[in-house]
Amino acid sequence: MRRLRKLVITTVGGIGLLSIGAAAFAQDQQSDDTSKPRPAARVYPPLGYPDQDPSGDQDSTPPLQPDTRPLTGVQNPTLGSPEVRHSYWVPGFRYSNIIRSTALNQANAVGWNSTSYITGNVSLLQSGRNSQLSVNYSGGGYISTDSSQGNGSFQQLGLVQAFKWQRWQLTLLDQFSYLPETPFGFGAGSGISIPGVGGSLNPPLPGVQNNYQPNQSIFTSVGARYSNSFTTQAVYAFGPRSSINVAGSYGILRFLETGNVNNDDTIFNGGYNYALTKKDTIGVLYRFSAFRFPGNPQALNDHTVQAAYGRKITGRLALQLFGGPELTTFRVPIGSETRLVSGSGGATLNYAWGQNNLSLTYTRGLSNGSGIQIGSSADQVQTGLSRRLSRYWQGHINFGYARNEDLGNSVLSQNSQTYNSYYVGGGLGRPLGRDANFSFGYTSQIQGSNQAVCAAGTCNTSYVQHQIILEFSWYGRPFVLR
């Protein structure tokens, strides 16, 4: 256990050093022009979002640059991004306390338990003429009165390196996490659920679609686990209307406790995009996914062809719709079958109006099994609504649902077992001065299955866990790099 934790921490540290080294290199490349004065040893707010200063004009909004991500690519669409005025890095600190009701794997326990998370955060944005590096990292430790969880450490990293040359775009993306539980619903609506300092100072996150990262949407895959997904995407524009994109992704999911299913995934994506108007785009994509399960002879290969439609209005709307057939083949026959033909699809929506912001994602298709099953047919939806309630207070509500249906593999003696997982909650938050925030919220996690799930001598077909989240966060003033 100690060796594995040391390896994880060392790996994350190496990635962080590599990212900062790349940022320094990019900075040196742009230092040719010495005629322009550069700020030294001072801090400066790089983006100027209104929520950074509660005494400022809350009705003003920064101008947004259009989102140029391809419709058939691997990333979720956005409403746009603010203009980058400076490259910067910013440190932060967060204290979170999650008070939970009894967990499923506590056989005879009653009452509530408390877990305190102490987190150090750092975010970096390095922007050049043809490139942009975005790094968001959070790491720390937790202390819990829950004997099944105990004390430990956790890490999260999101990295995006983007290049652009005339007709070409190249993007490198990495998402890493080492957590004591599934990230599905983890700290929903709070800052602990994402890497970096949070808020308007957070540089762009990878935003990789669910189909291109390890699925962990079953709550009863208990215990600490680490996952990583690395993706490379290239885009070539034939002209102002049409483009093609290709991408490759490799992901892993590993558990530290026995009884869970480790898995790897290798994914290839290719797509064509055509702009009907400045706002509307259509496209077609092909995706190949290979799922492997170390120590298990089963292997799943999946082929998907989908038609796509997208609509973007900068600052207001970002919509994507996908749908098409899916063919899955099995190395080890399931029953007497070696293949399965089904349907796949998805949707992504970001919509802003007035003081409200709505986000929604939905995916349907083959999944890795979320650490419980040897592959599954999965439906997953997540949505959130945030609203500025007053000059200082902001509220949010969050909802997530995942259905994982076993493909029928008898190795786990869970033929046709189905899991339905939900989380629902909401909260309120407000700034404390210019550099700190306070928030509190409630989340409920609910899971049901058509067969009993046994853990620590207790077998149930359903369980509910309640969570109360209190959080204080602080971030320093950004340190300007140029």
Query: Which residues fall within 8 angstroms of residue 423, CB to CB, at 6 or more apart?
Result: 184, 185, 188, 398, 399, 400, 443, 444, 445, 446
Query: Which tokens sit at 397?
Result: 């509500």
Return the pLDDT at 146: 83
Q: What integer is the mean pLDDT of 154-176?
A: 96
Q: What integer is the mean pLDDT of 146-174?
A: 93
Return the pLDDT at 196: 95
For the chain, the structural domain boundaries read 2-480
Summary mean pLDDT of the chain: 85
Q: Is the confidence at residue 52, as pLDDT, over 60?
A: no
pLDDT, tens only, 222-260? 789 999 999 999 999 999 999 999 999 999 999 998 889
Q: Cβ of 394: how many Cβ atoms within 10 Å?
A: 18
Return the pLDDT at 84: 82
Q: Is the confidence at residue 63, as pLDDT, over 90?
A: no
Q: SS3 of 336, please?
A: coil
What is the rounded distance in angstroms from the CA atom of residue 120 to the CA atom of residue 174? 20
Query: Which residues fall within 8 angstroms of residue 436, CB to CB, at 6 or more apart?
Result: 472, 473, 474, 475
Return the pLDDT at 8: 43
Q: What is the pTM of this model?
A: 0.84
34: which strand partners? none
pLDDT, tens only, 416-437? 789 999 999 999 999 998 899 9
Q: What integer is the mean pLDDT of 102-113?
A: 63
Q: Is the confidence at residue 24, as pLDDT, over 80?
A: no
List Cβ<8 Å contacts ≥24 apart for 281-285: 281/71, 281/309, 281/310, 281/311, 281/312, 282/71, 282/307, 282/308, 282/309, 282/310, 283/70, 283/71, 283/72, 283/307, 283/308, 283/309, 283/310, 284/72, 284/308, 285/72, 285/322
Q: Is the confidence at residue 58, as pLDDT, over 50?
A: no
At residue 40 the predicted structure's pLDDT band, cuts being 50, 70 and 90, is very low
Among 39-48, 95-104, 320-329, which range has the highest average pLDDT?
Answer: 320-329
Query: Which tokens sit at 374?
Result: 């040897």
**Cβ atoms of 80 and 118 closer than 8 Å:** no
Q: What integer is the mean pLDDT of 330-341?
A: 90
Domain at 2-480, CATH class? mainly beta
Query: Which tokens sit at 49?
Result: 């979002």
